[in-house]
Amino acid sequence: MASLSKTENTAQITPKKLKVKRFVPLENPINTYLTDEKGIWAWLTTVDHKKIGLMYLGAVAFFFALAGFLAIALRTELWTPAKTFIEADTYNQLFTLHGAMMVFFVLVPSIPAALGNFILPMQLGAKDVAFPRLNLASFYIYAFGAIFTFLSLANNGFDTGWTFYTPYSSDTNSAGIIWVTLGVFILGFSSILTGTNFITTIHKLRAPGISWDRLPLNVWALYATSIIQVLATPVLAITILLLAMENILDIGIFDPALGGDPVLYQHFFWFYSHPAVYIMIVPGFGIISEVITTFSKKTIFGYWAIALSSLAIAFIGFLVWGHHMFTSGQSAVATTIFSFLTFLVGIPTGIKIFNWVATLYRGSISMKTPMLYVFIFIFLFSIGGFTGIMLGALSVDIHLHDTYYVVAHFHYVMMGGTLIALLAGLHYWWPKMTGKMYNEPLAKTAAIFIFIGFNVTFLPQFIMGAQGMPRRYYNYIDQFTPFHQTSTIGSYILAVGFLVILFYLVHSLIKGQKAGPNPWNSRGLEWQSNSPPDFHNFSHTPVVIHGPYDYHQPMEEFQLGLAVDHEYGDEQDKVAAEAHASSATETTEA
Amino acid sequence: MANHSATHPKHVHHHFVDSNQQFESAKLGMWVFLVNEILFFGGLFCAYIVFRAWYPELFTQAALELNTFWGAVNTVVLIGSSLTVAMAIRSAQNNQKRGLEINLLITILLACVFLVIKYFEYEHKLHLGIAPGSFWNPTPEIAAVLDHPKANIFFGIYYMMTAVHGLHVIIGIVLMVWLYLRARKGHFNSEYYTPVEITGLYWHLVDLIWIFLFPLLYLIE
């Protein structure tokens, strides 16, 4: 605990004893993390959290494009009730691949590993995450897991659905299932390492003055996410390992023919995979909290309510996995309890929504692209959340289980929630990451395309699901044709939206206007650095004397603080800090 | 990267304020990792509980095939190695280079003894045809004693649990050899012994898991 007291010590004495100067970030930084080391090799071996975050972002975007392309193929196949252009077996493999890639390669790492990696240390005023080399390792483990998944495609592929339910998955002769389970097993380590890294970083690497009640809500959300990652992922790892052993050696734990229990597999699987949807959505909540205050120019409403509801979701999320198994033959008592507990998750989520709306109330709202995505998020995620409550209701679920209603619900929370939040965060932090602005009108157009395309795709699925259209089916009866065709058209509109995004983001990299350090006038710590930030994020150790959402003070009075004479910093930092201090506009004795 | 000032000791990475912060971070990180190790094994323990509740008579019967004597010896060996790894940390804290090296060597040795004993146990089982899953092919004498249709499930769980634990022992040995090589170069002293400390933490967990495995698998009555 010695270091803790030391850090606290610094936090206490710095604002009082040391001369605190206002730090003014440079308008046109020359030395940035992008110019620090150049060349492919420097990128591949970097331990800088910002570069690793960008590498993750690239990988996630790649897999999203790939899995999205599969989705378009699937929707096209469903244009007619019978075969349209792909075979039934291929169809089974494609929807499995779409689900597995979107869940394990896109949604799980998207916000924490890509955006979180970049932003978390900056919001803490740290130079890096606690274990930078582990961070790089986690990226390569992720890439390695991806290679295994592709190897499975070369070995007959897999068509079990992304849930790998036994006994089909343990009996199928396809070698692909072994490769993909190993891939997911490896991928789990990447997730665990990121979680471990983040928890340690948040506990130990906060800059002086960042007490737990000054943590940005994005950090609280990532903290809750990391806890779930560390507690849930190892259970998936052992489950997947047992599944692979079942398939290779027939050890008889999950296979009913050998005396095993397939429902045990489902318990194990959902013990991870239900909390896993909170791994995907909770960091999205963090982004929404950040964006909504910045663009309302108003202190967040209910800071502690939002912070603690993230932890509450993490906790309750571990107790509800049985609601995936209402029809699997678990006991009636367990089913009832799980149904009741599922309703409880709605409470902290509702608390968040209400607090966000209350933050908007009488704020001075500027409708920039990130804010547009926040509104889309609130709209879509509310629909996703409410339909989730309906699925958690026991009697309703018996009817809706394994229908398109579930598919629509899942896409409303995961795509309408996580992915839209990711887009909000991406547009919000893009100027910080690249130092460039994107084309605002084009960005808004794309957002509207995505909003319309999304609803056209997934609203009909609620209706046909309620009418009994089962999920994962290759053929369907004629009465569902209009719904399927509407849904397919919607997916094309969605695709156009994403292509527009791709276009203007690439354009912004090449020809984008300089963003300046703080284009949104945010009070967040990460915005008080240069854009793009330099290698150590801040050229000084920031001393935080304000909360992250102090919008009630005018920007001129808002001070981040800067300790010129801090005793721990690097020599170069000191030099840089003094250089900056000379350009500072004012000096105060705090 | 090259921003080390004169006040920054060599072993402190660039992003830490001081040695203490680095030590505390490494330790917390290892504890978090151990939590997820416990959940990893938790899945296996859970499977064990389910099948023991389903087939209690199978578990008591099959456990008789395990050699309690060598299991007990292995327990003592691992507890002993936990003691020596703790002594290694103490030596590092007291700047006793020689003590650190010797204690690490004894720990490595004990870990190897554990694996050798485990190897002979496996060897004996496989010889009798008590193999996991589809390789299950017990000799007539064994089949006569173990006349349970699901007998292979117990051994499926036994092999999974002990093999995953054995893998952790091997990883521990690799880490300890690495520590020993660094200790010989004099990398550790009272100022900096973080790797020794956190490897010690890991090793205690490996030991602790065996202490649960031993009674659950060998000592069922």
- Each domain of chain B, given as residue ranges in start order, spans 19-218
Asked if the Cβ–Cβ distance from B152 to A260 is below 8 Å, we say: no
Q: How far apart are CA A113 and CA B195, in angstroms?
A: 26
Which residues are registered as beta bridge partners of A436? Answer: A514
Distance from CA of B143 to the nearest CA of A (A): 17
Does B42 lie at the interface with A, CB-CB under 8 angstroms?
Answer: yes
| pLDDT tops 60 at residue A398 | yes
The more confident residue out of B153 and A559 is B153
Residue A570's pLDDT is 46
Q: How many domains does chain A have?
A: 1
Domain extent for A159: 10-511
Model ipTM value: 0.91
Check if the beta carbon of residue A483 is closer than 8 Å to that of residue A469: yes
Q: How many Cα atoms occupy the beta-carbon half-sphere of A84 within 13 Å?
A: 17
Q: How far apart are CA A231 and CA B158, in angstroms?
A: 24
Asked if the Cβ–Cβ distance from A572 to B6 is below 8 Å, we say: no
A539 within domain boundaries: no
pLDDT in tens, A316-333: 999 999 999 999 888 899
| pLDDT tops 50 at residue A491 | yes
Residue A559's pLDDT is 59
Q: Residue A309 contacts by C-beta under 8 Å, 6 or more apart in sequence?
A: A348, A349, A351, A352
Confidence of residue B209 (pLDDT cuts 50, 70, 90): very high
| pLDDT tops 80 at residue A540 | no
Contacts of A190 in chain B (CB under 8 A): none
H helices present in A262-417, as ranges: 262-296, 303-316, 332-360, 369-392, 394-400, 404-413
Confidence of residue B137 (pLDDT cuts 50, 70, 90): confident
| pLDDT tops 90 at residue A166 | no
Q: Is the peptide bond before B149 cis (omega within 30 degrees of 0)?
A: no
Residue A29's pLDDT is 84
Out of 3.40.50.970, 1.20.120.80, 1.20.58.100, 3.40.50.80, select the CATH number for domain B19-218.
Answer: 1.20.120.80
pLDDT in tens, B6-59: 456 778 888 888 888 899 999 999 999 999 999 999 999 999 999 999 999 889
Residue A378's pLDDT is 96
A391 three-class SS: helix
pLDDT, average across residues A269-276: 94
Q: How does the average pLDDT of chain A come out, rounded?
A: 88
Distance from CA of A213 to the nearest CA of B (A): 21
Residue A18's pLDDT is 52
Which tokens is A112 given? 């924490």
Confidence of residue A495 (pLDDT cuts 50, 70, 90): very high
Q: How far apart are CA B49 and CA B34, in angstroms?
A: 22
Q: How far apart are CA A483 and CA A505, in angstroms?
A: 33
Residue A375's pLDDT is 97
**Domain of residue A140, CATH code:** 1.20.210.10
> CA nearest A18: which of A583, A540, A554?
A540
| Residue numbers of B between 93 and 112 with CB closer than 8 Å to A | none
Check if the beta carbon of residue A491 is closer than 8 Å to that of residue A457: yes
| pLDDT tops 70 at residue A572 | no
Confidence of residue A3 (pLDDT cuts 50, 70, 90): very low
| pLDDT tops 70 at residue A16 | no
pLDDT in tens, A217-226: 999 999 999 9
Q: How far apart are CA A47 and CA A192, in angstroms?
A: 18
Question: Is A387 exposed, middle or buried (CB count within 10 Å of its CB: 0-12, 13-18, 19+)?
Answer: buried
Residue A5's pLDDT is 41
A344 within domain boundaries: yes
A64 three-class SS: helix
Q: How far apart are CA A527 and CA A516, in angstroms?
A: 10
Residue A560's pLDDT is 62
Sign of the C-alpha dihedral, residues B170, B202, B45, A190?
negative
Output b/e per residue, B72-82; b: 16+ Cβ within 10 A: eebbebbebbb
Asked if the Cβ–Cβ distance from B50 to A245 is below 8 Å, we say: no
CB atoms closer than 10 angstroms to residue A62: 13
pLDDT, average across residues A49-68: 96
Question: Is A548 exposed, middle or buried (CB count within 10 Å of its CB: 0-12, 13-18, 19+)?
Answer: buried
Lowest-confidence region among A496-505, A513-522, B96-105, B129-138: B129-138
The more confident residue out of B54 and B133 is B54
Q: How far apart are CA A309 and CA B6, in angstroms?
A: 45
A5 within domain boundaries: no
Q: How far apart are CA B3 and CA B220, in angstroms?
A: 59
CB atoms closer than 10 angstroms to residue A241: 19
Nearest to B47 among A204, A264, A572 (CB): A264
Does B36 lie at the interface with A, CB-CB under 8 angstroms?
Answer: yes
pLDDT, average across residues A176-190: 92
Confidence of residue A557 (pLDDT cuts 50, 70, 90): low
Long-range contacts of range B51-57, CB-CB < 8 Å, 24 or more positions apart? Answer: B51/A253, B51/B153, B51/B154, B51/B157, B54/A261, B55/A259, B55/B148, B55/B150, B55/B153, B55/B154, B57/B148
A534 three-class SS: strand
Write the DSSP symbol of residue A21: E
| pLDDT tops 60 at residue A12 | no
> CA nearest B70: which of B110, B38, B118, B127?
B118
Which tokens is A155 given? 């070995």
Check if the beta carbon of residue A540 is closer than 8 Å to that of residue B17: no
pLDDT in tens, A280-312: 999 999 999 999 999 999 999 999 999 999 999
Does B127 lie at the interface with A, CB-CB under 8 angstroms?
Answer: no
pLDDT in tens, B181-200: 999 999 999 989 999 999 99
Lowest-confidence region among A12-16, A252-256, A409-413, B167-171: A12-16
What's the gap between Cα A279 and its chain centre? 7
CA separation (Å) from A446 to A73, A234, A278, A295, A381? 22, 39, 27, 19, 19
Check if the beta carbon of residue A351 is closer than 8 Å to that of residue A360: no
B220 three-class SS: coil
Confidence of residue A568 (pLDDT cuts 50, 70, 90): very low
pLDDT, average across residues A109-119: 94
pLDDT, average across residues A84-100: 94
A436 three-class SS: strand
A576 within domain boundaries: no
Residue A21's pLDDT is 64
Mutation target vs A (from B4, B12, B23, B24; most A CBs, 10 A cutoff): B24
